[in-house]
Amino acid sequence: MKKKWLSIPAMLLVMFVHSQTSLQKLYPVNFSDVTISDAFWKPKMQTVATATIDACIRYTQDKTGRIRNFEKAAQRSGRHEGIYYDDSDVYKAIEAIAYSLKNYPDPALEKKTDEWIEKIAAAQLPDGYLNTYYILTDINARWTDMEKHEDYCAGHLIEAGIAYYNTTGKDKLLRTAIRFADHIDTVFRLQNRPWVSGHQEIELALMKLYHFTQKKKYLELANWFLEQRGHGHGRGVIWDKWGRADYCQDSLPVKDQRKITGHAVRAMYLYTGAADVAAVTNDAGYITAMDSIWQDVVFRHMYITGGIGAQGSNEGFGKPYVLPNATAYCETCASVGMVFWNQRMNMLSGNARYIDVLERSLYNGAIDGLSLSGDRFFYGNPLASPGNYMRSEWFGTACCPSNIARLVSSLGNYIYGSSSDAIWINLFAGSKAAIMVNNSKVDINMETNYPWDGDIKLTVAPAKKQHFNLHIRIPGWLTAPVPGDLYRYADEEKAVPEIQVNGITQKYDMINGYAIIRRNWKKGDRVTIHLPMTVRRIVSNPAVKQNENRVALQYGPLVYCVEGIDNQPGTGSIIIPPGTTFETVFNPSLLGGVNTLVFKAPVVTIDKEGTAVSTVMKKITAIPYFSWNNRGASDMQVWLPSAVKKISLNE
């Protein structure tokens, strides 16, 4: 008989009922209960379902040896192809496929995935171990090098197994993942064998498995991995190659950490796992640490695009306020990690500021990594380019394509939340959702043209007339670009939102960034939200020397840039002085349909002899940052001079 598992949403509900003292304030509505109809996101999801996943399959199966490695491992012979962590790309591709199949069923794609899963399961050793690199090189060397990503790959296997089961009801990959998790638990926690994961991921994956199975050992193992850090257990490449433990956040115990360090993606996955553990164990030590680290990231280390990781040398964080633009690393996976971490922080606190940061990373730093065609990718996402930076068809280390694919396909996970007596509206995207409140179903229908305008309509349809609270996030970008003082608006304009219920303007309480409407709801109640959108000029904290005398442009949640293809002779000569006025123009034929910002601005010119410099007024067009580099090579800038003092490209 097939074992019946509870889905993650069901497990979260059980936890909520039985844990009266949980720190967690709300729970996400699962993507499987959300139908996306949004004009902005649905085309992207369709593109991922076809072009992006096709690219993942093509490179995973045909152009690289990732699937062949599993075939060889099943035979216990052959040469390993590629890099030691390549198994993880197969698992992330399957996870993305699982989400996509829920949105767009495809029998042929499901059959192909089932074939992959058969090969993965066949490669597993009798004791549950599964890693093609060590199976095909030297199985006696397994679990000897903390940097070899064995547990990182296991984490992605767990996430893929859960996602594929939730979509298809097929549990072969899930059972394979559970056997590997049990092997890890036996080898490490039960023996208390010191081990520091070189690349974090296992922690958050084990928490998903705990919620899925309600087996306490997975919670205990996740916490065990967290507690291993900062005690000098790190060895091998972690110490020898990088010469310091902070590269993988191992200098201090997690609960003692207060500053962001090291590799950006590893940090995001670590703190996502820590938040997941804290939500169950009520461990305030993790919360204190993450709150301090979050402030360090957002107040001192984050780009205006929501990207993180200023330098490529460690694929991560450098000194506070040092945020170069042309050499910004801002790995796509790091922005995906910002979405994960900030969602968990929002769930723990009920504070909308985390969704503000999530939204910024999602709409700017993350989807910039995916071309509009869906088959070209950025690994890093700079904020300035002289015209020599292009998206790639694939990468040797191919974490980003499948990572952005699984994020976009699972967008429904981030729109709505629920608690015992409330529905939470976090993101604004055309969609329908079925949400349980007070053990009764409430259907929500959201209509909007966001992010191109700020009008949102909600139709509320409870199964029966009932009282509950509706928490509507009032975006922080109405008053400030981001929490803290790293960035601010150059003007003092105050944007006041308006909320109506059935045509009557509402007075509402504002708590932690949410407008709260309390009422007895009945079927057909309509909520309209108006978020004023205007073009805002952003300036940086003076400590960010790279942006001195420069401004960036924002409209709603979107950061804008200028590309040379629209603005000849190039972006390095454009100036945006105080008092510049902007017109917002929607162009349906440009870049899939985008709002452009059109304005007149002085452009520095040099005469043919190169002896005289002057300025002329020209019409300038700015486009959303996420859409740049979709029309061929072109120079680009986000931060533009506000005076003639600096006109060279940011370095």
Quickly state the pLDDT bin for 626 (edges 50, 70, 90): very high
- Same domain, yes or no: 402 and 422: no
pLDDT digits (tens, 9 = 90+) for 253-290: 999 999 999 999 999 999 999 999 999 999 999 999 99
The pLDDT of residue 607 is 65
Task: Please choose, from the candidates 540, 543, 550, 537, the residue with its C-alpha nearest in 3D space to the C-alpha of residue 646.
Answer: 550
Q: Looking at the domain assignment, is residue 7 inside a domain?
A: no
The pLDDT of residue 492 is 83
- Same domain, yes or no: 439 and 410: no
The pLDDT of residue 645 is 61
Q: Does the structure show a pLDDT above 50 at 9?
A: no
- Same domain, yes or no: 330 and 469: no
Q: Looking at the domain assignment, is residue 19 inside a domain?
A: no
- Same domain, yes or no: 120 and 235: yes
- Same domain, yes or no: 347 and 430: no
Q: Looking at the domain assignment, is residue 16 inside a domain?
A: no
Q: Looking at the domain assignment, is residue 110 inside a domain?
A: yes
- Same domain, yes or no: 363 and 503: no
Quickly state the pLDDT bin for 43 (edges 50, 70, 90): very high
Domain stop point among 369, 392, 414:
414
**Percentage with pLDDT > 70 across the chain:** 93
Task: Please choose, from the candidates 285, 421, 299, 293, the residue with its C-alpha nearest in 3D space to the C-alpha of residue 350.
Answer: 421
Q: Stretch 453-468: mean pLDDT, rounded?
A: 97
Q: Does the structure show a pLDDT above 90 at 7?
A: no
Q: Looking at the domain assignment, is residue 172 inside a domain?
A: yes
In this structure, what CATH number is given to the domain that contains residue 277?
Answer: 1.50.10
Q: Does the structure show a pLDDT above 50 at 68?
A: yes
> Do 431 and 35 form a contact (C-beta atoms < 8 A)?
yes
Q: Does the structure show a pLDDT above 50 at 107?
A: yes
Q: Looking at the domain assignment, is residue 15 inside a domain?
A: no
The pLDDT of residue 56 is 95
Mention every residue, 6+ apart, whose C-beta is less than 8 A from residue 170.
114, 117, 164
- Domain housing 260: 25-414
Q: Stretch 446-459: mean pLDDT, rounded?
A: 98
- The two three-digit tokens of residue 439, written as one number: 């053990």
Which residue in the block uniquely carries the two structure tokens 């994960």? 340
Quickly state the pLDDT bin for 22 (edges 50, 70, 90): low
Going by the DSSP 8-state scheme, the letter that residue 648 receives in this structure is S
Mention every residue, 6+ apart, whose C-beta is less than 8 A from residue 107.
none
- Same domain, yes or no: 447 and 460: yes
CA–CA dist 246, 252 (Å, integer): 8
Quickly state the pLDDT bin for 649 (edges 50, 70, 90): very low
- Same domain, yes or no: 636 and 517: no
The pLDDT of residue 12 is 43
* C-alpha 261: how far from chain center: 19
- Same domain, yes or no: 513 and 572: no
CA–CA dist 204, 274 (Å, integer): 8
- Same domain, yes or no: 410 and 421: no
Q: Does the structure show a pLDDT above 60 at 5?
A: no
Domain stop point among 386, 414, 442:
414
Single-letter code of the amino acid located at 489? Y
- Same domain, yes or no: 129 and 177: yes
SS3 133: helix
- Number of domains making up the chain: 3
Pairing of strands 594-606, 504-505: unpaired
Q: Does the structure show a pLDDT above 90 at 342?
A: yes
* C-alpha 184: how far from chain center: 27
SS3 523: coil
What H or E segment, with its residue span, contains residue 99?
helix 87-103
Quickly state the pLDDT bin for 606 (edges 50, 70, 90): confident
DSSP conformation letters of 152-221: HHHHHHHHHHHHHHHHH---HHHHHHHHHHHHHIIIIITTT-----SS--HHHHHHHHHHHH--HHHHHH
Q: Looking at the domain assignment, is residue 647 inside a domain?
A: no
The pLDDT of residue 568 is 85
> Do 552 and 559 form a contact (C-beta atoms < 8 A)?
yes
DSSP conformation letters of 401-421: HHHHHHHHHTGGGGTEEEETT
pTM greater than 0.75: yes
In this structure, what CATH number is given to the domain that contains residue 437?
Answer: 2.60.40.1180
The pLDDT of residue 270 is 98
- Same domain, yes or no: 408 and 421: no
pLDDT digits (tens, 9 = 90+) for 530-558: 999 999 999 999 999 999 999 999 999 99
CA–CA dist 237, 246 (Å, integer): 13
Q: Looking at the domain assignment, is residue 11 inside a domain?
A: no
> Do 521 and 437 form a contact (C-beta atoms < 8 A)?
no
